Chain A
Amino acid sequence: MARNTDSNVYTVVFATGMVVIVGALLAFVASYFKEQITENKRIEKQQNILYAMGVNENDETSVEFVSKAIVGQEFSKYITKQFVITGTEAVEDPKAYLIDIKKETTAAKNPNYQRRLPFFIGEKDNATFYIIPVRGKGLWDAVWGYVALDTDLVVQGVFFDHAGETPGLGSNIKERFFMDDFKGEHFLDGDTFKGITAAKGNSDPKNLDKTDYEVDAIAGATITGDGISAMLKKDLKLYLPYLKTLKQ
């Protein structure tokens, strides 16, 4: 029997049926995999934090995290303390790395909200690292990362990631040539906060000058670079009061 697929009734019934089926299917798939996806994201956070402090399996040019199998034990080995900072007060919390920076940023728009800032202390080869999570906006979507500092508050390593920067241009913020440039950079001039800017005209492509508060920007990714600069300025500043108490 040939159906009249042009009739209004058929169209409405088809549309309704399709919405119900597709909605149910997507909801089922999403909830079925939810646990696994959350676990993967948790592992990724540990890998990213370790990457920033230099615990990774990089060769010359690649970005390689410590493997999934050992990341848990490596994390508890290298990350010796985790804090949640509110104001200038820091409370130890072994789950601080799970704090959702995005939610905290949104909640902090309410002036009565006391923002919780996660902060990590790592130890590797007798050196101490302070690791700070950062989050901001790129061109299309969010950018975020982790910045590892030594006890003199000089950058020792960074990890950046993004949700949807242009492939081949803005997405290069998670490539070695960009991230490695941050090693050794200063963001404080004495006590004055300078931040680190991804600058177009810094005419220092080899990045020999570590106290110019600049790294070489990526060609064709101006807005992503500006997003990174703004993110570092905004979020590193939040930790400044606490970092100063550590320095004393």
Chain B
Amino acid sequence: MGLLSKKDAKLITDPLADNNPITIQVLGICSALAITADLKASIVMSVAVLFVLALGNVVISLMRNIIPSKIRIIVQLIVVATLVIIVDLILKAFAYELSKTLSVFVGLIITNCIIMGRFEAFALANGPWRSFLDGIGNSLGYGVILIIVGFFRELLGSGTLLGFKVLGDSIEKTGVYAYGYENNGFMLLAPMALITLGIIIWVQRARNTSLIEDN
């Protein structure tokens, strides 16, 4: 890769697989369970987290030498909350429809532990450019899992993808519904999100046994 050094490129590629924020670092689980009932919400949340995490990582990284360690968590929280609120206000003023779509995600982003987790684990100890790449990498890794979970939950729970009735119409009994298939309403609830996530973690660790912790 010409643009990035090997070390920098790893910051992007690692979180996509063997150091995934959700399945390995166990960050951002709450939002992965809460908002993955359909694919669209998963995608919107992933994009929003990408912006906030990349930008927040840079800001925290620039401030890393002046933040008092005793109150660093509070400082991190204030930085991310301020960023999100300012972006929300700007969207409300200039892209009102978009801000309506995102409004429910604002609170979820501020309290998302993937943001605080990466600030704490990476941005406080690394320069702005590397922190930016770390932010991009981790939010992509987060997004991939969200989209996989969202895909299965929407497909099996509602029989749709991004709102399109890919399995036929459940009320008119067309497509697979004509053969007696039924949507599984349980997929729409949070417990099935956790089970779906568990299956992803299982598959990942079965394929790469070095990820399994020794006890």
Interface residues of A (CB under 8 A from B): 3, 5-6, 10-11, 14-15, 18, 22, 25-26, 29-30, 33, 36-37, 40, 43-44, 61, 161-169, 171, 205-206, 219-220
B194 interface residue (CB < 8 Å to A): no
Contact A14 B67 (CB under 8 A): yes
Given A37-B93, A220-B188, A11 and B71 touching (CB < 8 A)?
yes
Interface with A: B2-10, B82-90, B134-142, which one?
B82-90
Digitize B178-212: 1 where CB-to-A-CB distance is under 8 Å, 0 elsewhere. 00000001001100000000000000000000000
CA distance A166 to B190 in the complex (A): 11
Given A6-B69, A220-B188, A168 and B85 touching (CB < 8 A)?
no
Interface residues of B (CB under 8 A from A): 34-38, 40-41, 44-45, 65-71, 74-75, 78, 82, 85-86, 89-90, 92-94, 96, 100, 103-105, 107, 150, 154, 157, 163, 171, 185, 188-189
Contact A6 B70 (CB under 8 A): yes
Residues of A with C-beta under 8 A to B69: 5-6
Given A6-B68, A14-B68, A61-B163, A33 and B92 touching (CB < 8 A)?
yes
Given A5-B66, A5-B67, A220-B189, A164 and B86 touching (CB < 8 A)?
no
CA distance A98 to B155 in the complex (A): 41
Contact B89 A33 (CB under 8 A): yes
CA distance A220 to B38 in the complex (A): 12
Q: How far is the CB of B129 from chain A (nearest CB, A)?
A: 23
Contact A164 B103 (CB under 8 A): yes
Residues of A with C-beta under 8 A to B189: 220
Residues of A with C-beta under 8 A to B94: 36
Given A15-B71, A22-B78, A169-B188, A30 and B89 touching (CB < 8 A)?
yes
Number of A-B contacts (CB under 8 A): 94
Contact A33 B90 (CB under 8 A): yes
Q: How far is the CB of A195 from chain B (nearest CB, A)?
A: 24
Contact B37 A169 (CB under 8 A): yes
Q: Interface SS of chain B: helix, strand, loop or mixed?
A: helix
**For residue A221, which residue of chain B has the nearest CB?**
B188
Residues of A with C-beta under 8 A to B188: 168-169, 219-220
Contact A18 B89 (CB under 8 A): no
Q: Which of A10, A25, A37, A61 contacts B92 (CB 8 A)?
A: A37
7 contacts between A and B (CB under 8 A): A15-B71, A15-B74, A33-B90, A40-B96, A163-B104, A166-B34, A168-B154
Residues of B with C-beta under 8 A to A18: 75, 78
Q: Which of A164, A166, A220 contacts B185 (CB 8 A)?
A: A220
Q: Which of B66, B90, B157, B185 contacts A14 (CB 8 A)?
A: B66
**For residue B183, which residue of chain A has the nearest CB?**
A219
Residues of A with C-beta under 8 A to B35: 166-168
CA distance A5 to B65 in the complex (A): 8
**For residue B185, which residue of chain A has the nearest CB?**
A219
Contact B85 A26 (CB under 8 A): yes
Contact B66 A3 (CB under 8 A): yes
Q: Could you say which of A10, A18, A29, A167 has the most chain B C-beta atoms within 10 Å of its C-beta?
A: A167
Q: How far is the CB of A153 from chain B (nearest CB, A)?
A: 28
Given A10-B68, A26-B86, A206-B171, A44 and B105 touching (CB < 8 A)?
no
CA distance A144 to B92 in the complex (A): 19
CA distance A73 to B89 in the complex (A): 27
Contact B68 A5 (CB under 8 A): yes
Q: How far is the CB of B152 from chain A (nearest CB, A)?
A: 13
CA distance A29 to B34 in the complex (A): 31
Q: Which of A14, A40, A44, A61 contacts B93 (CB 8 A)?
A: A40
Residues of B with C-beta under 8 A to A26: 82, 85-86
Q: How far is the CB of A41 from chain B (nearest CB, A)?
A: 8
- 13 other A-B residue contacts (CB within 8 Å) besides A26-B85, A37-B93, A166-B37: A5-B66, A6-B68, A11-B68, A14-B71, A29-B89, A36-B94, A162-B104, A165-B104, A168-B154, A169-B37, A169-B188, A171-B104, A219-B157
